[in-house]
Chains A and B, each alone.
Chain A
């Protein structure tokens, strides 16, 4: 565990850079993490991010398949929004734990 200042807020992050406490998250933090992985966030990104956060609070396991069936984006669009890390980068930006699913 380490401490990092993101968008002016001191947050606890894991070695991989995932936030440890999702309640510390805000949109500015999301934007800064996103820019670190080369993504500029749009409203569509935030729709996905909010979905991931809701499901995490509801303790539901996340897979790209479930996001693809969420009605927000299909899997192809999810990859387009978060290239090379549809679940990994989106989770990191959403301030939720590293995905534990294999699918």
Chain B
């Protein structure tokens, strides 16, 4: 008879490479969820994802109102692409999204990162992307532990019950 032994995850390494509101939150929710389950968690922010840990931008992330076919008006009607391109629309929609997320007790990005590190999760920034965007450690949120290379990231991903998640 076949017996199935459960092999729970021990570590997740999450890569956040995009700076849209929903992409950053996808990474944060997954990271926080992992920490809450007692799973060792590393989050690696790279390219536009760096906006999620850059002090100046982190709490004002936007969701795309053009080129986003899933965007709907309140009530469910399709959101016209032409409307999405008007000045101020993306800002207004994004702030509405943030408000709705707040109503579900989803914290702002800085607080979310603090929740993750409070539980023992670790936040890293990608060296190549930091150099490319001409950022320094001082531009990044205090909870960012280090700026590391992709090689160092892979070293963090050791262990046979480790998963890498790219959001």
The residues of A with any CB-CB pair to B shorter than 8 Å are 61, 63-66, 68, 74-76, 79, 83-88, 101-103
Contacts and interface: CB of A to CB of B under 8 A. Distances in A.
B9 interface: no
B84 interface: no
A54 to B, nearest CB: 17
8 closest cross-chain pairs (CB), A and B: A84-B38, A76-B118, A75-B118, A79-B119, A63-B105, A75-B115, A65-B105, A85-B38
Interface of B: 29, 32-33, 36-38, 104-107, 111, 114-115, 118-120
B38 A83 contact: yes
Contacts of B120: 79
Given A79-B118, A79-B120, A103-B106, 4 more contacts: A65-B105, A86-B36, A103-B33, A103-B107
A68 B105 contact: no
Contacts of B114: 75
Given A101-B105, A103-B29, A65 B115 contact: yes
A98 to B, nearest CB: 12
Contacts of A83: 38
B29 A68 contact: no
A96 B104 CA distance: 21
A28 B106 CA distance: 35
A88 B37 contact: yes
A7 B116 CA distance: 35
Nearest to A75: B118
Determine which residue in A75, A79, A101, A103 has the highest number of CB atoms from chain B within 10 A of its CB, and name it.
Answer: A103
